[in-house]
Amino acid sequence: MGSKVFYRDFRKSYKTVAYGKGVYLYDIDGDRFLDGCGGNTVANVGYGVEEIIEAVYAQMKKTSFGHTSRFTSEVQEMLAEKVISLSPKGMSKAYFLSGGSEATEAALKMARQFHIETGNSQKYKVISRWQSYHGNTIGALSMGGRSFRRKNYVPYLLDFPHIAPSYCYRCPFHREYENCGIECAWELERVIKQEGPENISAFIFEPLSGSSLAGVYPPKEYYKIIREICDRYDILMISDEVMTGFGRTGKNFGIDHWDVCPDIIAVGKGLTGGYAPAGGLIVHEKVSEAFRKGSGSFAHGHTFVGNPLTCAAALATQTYMGKHDLIHQSAEKGKALLEMLKERLDSEIIGDARGKGLFIGIEFVKDQKTKETFNRKARLAESIGDLAFKKGLHILPGFGCADGVSGDHILIAPPFVISEEEMEELVSILNETIKEVKARILR
Ligand SMILES: Cc1ncc(COP(=O)(O)O)c(C=O)c1O
């Protein structure tokens, strides 16, 4: 009864959003919500930016569509220039899509075709990490390592290997940095050998973990070792930057923190800041060249590849970011916000607070010494998310960080335009929320 919408969750009631401005969303009853997670790391430039809206409208008046089997558009060409100028040196082409799962799925196929073009047609398996998320389509879900998202669809999933995450707070190898030999990186080589390097096409990873491990990132040596292993076995390195791309972590791309150049970068969300659905691939010259010199075309495509409205929204978003120095702001405000959270939050149940730029994760524990997790039945993270929302703050709760099933965390990732006063508001609502939920659960 009631609404005809097939909602995500039939048990929940949803606020009807009316409009957004800056870091706030307003519902039709006039209630205000501080978007402490930019939706889910989408609204990097905030809501209601007139110049982006006008750019999309202006493009719509020219044309909203031109099929890419026959047409390119000025806006697509300009956006590709812009995106390549922001990317690590060596990246030479950009491919625009409509969502993050489309991007990772296309990366899987592009890696496969790269090996066909270069005479290694047996290579097809993609290695990824447990406790990672790469999207919800079947290929993307097969690469992902979030047990609860995979569970119902296991019969459809591709037989892709997974390695342990790089997660110092709960090292899967029970080692301690810096005396660990970065075993988590070398596990990649072990699995490649085990599966047969002749079968492996790519390794995909989130440079800083998003929804599954909230802000966790590997030590400084990790991606250099991964690069070395990928080169040794002719395996493409795919950085999934659907969350971390375009300044979210305080640099253009998450992988820039390690000064390593991947072969493919998958992007989404922040490309358009939510002003149009978006995804895309940024492709290294080595990969583009293989296609150009080989069959000449990518055996893949969607109706909305290179869509002019997506491109207009993305170009205007990235231009706005540059004009207002927003990536620098993400870096600086991120540091300040992480400090505020560490200092001011009721810390008794906080195990770890981490992240870079405005991409911050908080992991909750029942016991700070033993790192014991809360009973999953208590739904601690969800309770914090729900109560914070009631109090006017949106954050992203998650679970499974400890072992894929247990462990509670939240992701905090506000728009880069957040002011000091708004950061104060965020921390204060969150603190009140954590105190109340803790009292209820530990009672
Ligand atoms: C790292 C990562 N990859 C891929 C995706 C999938 O993107 P989308 O939901 O736009 O399909 C997400 C979504 O949250 C993500 O965080």
Q: Is 101 touching ligand 1 by the criterion CB < 6 Å?
A: yes
Whose C-alpha lies nearest to ligand 1, atom 8? Answer: 100
Burial 59-98 (b: 16+ CB within 10 A, else e): beeeeeeeebeeeebebbebbbebbbebbbeebbbbbbbb
Distance 254 CA to ligand 1 centre (A): 15
Distance 101 CA to ligand 1 centre (A): 6
Mean pLDDT, residues 235-254 taken together? 98
Q: Is 242 touching ligand 1 by the criterion CB < 6 Å?
A: yes
Instruction: Please name the helix (run of DSSP H) or strand (run of DSSP E) that holds residue 351, with its range, or none.
Output: strand 350-356
pLDDT digits (tens, 9 = 90+) for 246-284: 999 999 999 999 999 999 999 999 999 999 999 999 999
Confidence check: pLDDT of 442 > 90? no
Distance 152 CA to ligand 1 centre (A): 19
Q: Is 128 touching ligand 1 by the criterion CB < 6 Å?
A: no
Q: Is 46 touching ligand 1 by the criterion CB < 6 Å?
A: no
pLDDT digits (tens, 9 = 90+) for 84-111: 999 999 999 999 999 999 999 999 999 9
The confidence score (pLDDT) of residue 2 equals 86
Distance 397 CA to ligand 1 centre (A): 15
The confidence score (pLDDT) of residue 419 equals 98
Angle between helix axes 74-86 and 308-323 (nearest 10 degrees) is: 40
Distance 243 CA to ligand 1 centre (A): 7
Task: Evaluate whether 208 touches 356 at the Cβ level (below 8 Å).
Answer: yes
pLDDT digits (tens, 9 = 90+) for 173-202: 999 999 999 999 999 999 999 999 999 999
pLDDT digits (tens, 9 = 90+) for 306-323: 999 999 999 999 999 999
Burial 151-165 (b: 16+ CB within 10 A, else e): eeeeeeeeebbbbbb
Confidence check: pLDDT of 53 > 80? yes
Query: Which residues, at least 6 apart from 21, have a Cβ–Cβ distance to it below 8 Å?
Result: 46, 47, 48
Confidence check: pLDDT of 220 > 80? yes
Mean pLDDT, residues 282-292 taken together? 98
Q: Is 357 touching ligand 1 by the criterion CB < 6 Å?
A: no
Confidence check: pLDDT of 430 > 80? yes
Distance 99 CA to ligand 1 centre (A): 8
Whose C-alpha lies nearest to ligand 1, atom 10? Answer: 100
Distance 119 CA to ligand 1 centre (A): 31
The confidence score (pLDDT) of residue 347 equals 87
pLDDT digits (tens, 9 = 90+) for 322-365: 999 999 999 999 999 999 999 999 889 999 999 999 999 999 99
Confidence check: pLDDT of 1 > 70? no
pLDDT range class, residue 443, cuts 50, 70, 90: confident
Q: Is 240 touching ligand 1 by the criterion CB < 6 Å?
A: yes
Q: What is the pTM of this model?
A: 0.98
